[in-house]
Amino acid sequence: MKITFRSIAILALCLVIHSVDAQRILLIEKPGKFKNYKYSVGDEITVRIAPYGEKHNGTIHELTDTSILINFDNEIMLEDIEMVIRPRWGLSLLSKITRIAGAGYFILDVVNNSITGSPTIVDENTVMISAGLVAFSYVLVPFHDKRMKSGEKWRIKVLNMSMDEDVPNPFRQ
């Protein structure tokens, strides 16, 4: 029993030590406010680059003091980042629900009127309500993503949480 407990405790300790690696955090903060977003290695991110407005999205694989590496092939300097785009899951979900609700309400009313033998299969009020719900869902589409432009409103920096004084940079030979 003691051997099993010890081996489980040692295995758990090894897993905790493995996950508590020296970390760097990409911090996007609003100066003077408590509003900030943190990204670490393994997180999904979408950024827009300044010179041509190109969007790069994917998984962060490396963070250095001056750059980030996305999907092992896009090294992006922090000063080149024009905007960080973060999805808003609540508005996206509301948009999907209202679109489904509008179409579902229309279909249910048409099926109900055809079963009951009503003289009008498509009621005018039903068309107005379902069209309003579907239109509202498409009005929400531009608000699906939060756009944080770097500059006066948002600041982008990398926080180094490691205790090493000389942190190696994998991008420089």
Kindly report, residue by residue over 72-102, the tens digit of the pLDDT: 888 889 899 999 999 999 999 999 999 999 9
Residues 81 and 150 in one domain: yes
Residue 166 pLDDT grade (very low, low, confident, very high; cuts 50, 70, 90): low
Residues 6+ apart with CB under 8 A from 133: 98, 99, 101, 102, 105
Instruction: Tell me if 35 is assigned to some domain.
Output: yes
The pLDDT score that the predictor gives to residue 18 is 47
- What range defines the domain where residue 108 resides? 90-143
Count structural domains, the chain: 2
Residues 82 and 108 in one domain: no
Residues 95 and 150 in one domain: no
The pLDDT score that the predictor gives to residue 22 is 54
Q: What is the mean pLDDT of residues 100-110?
A: 94
Residues 105 and 79 in one domain: no
Highest mean pLDDT among 33-37, 75-79, 104-108, 153-157: 104-108
49 three-state secondary structure: strand
Residues 72 and 96 in one domain: no
Instruction: Tell me if 95 is assigned to some domain.
Output: yes
Cβ(80)–Cβ(49) below 8 Å: yes
Give the model confidence (pLDDT) of 5-53 as tens digits. 666 767 665 555 544 555 888 999 988 888 899 999 989 999 999 888 8
Q: 10 Å Cβ neighbour count for 81? A: 23
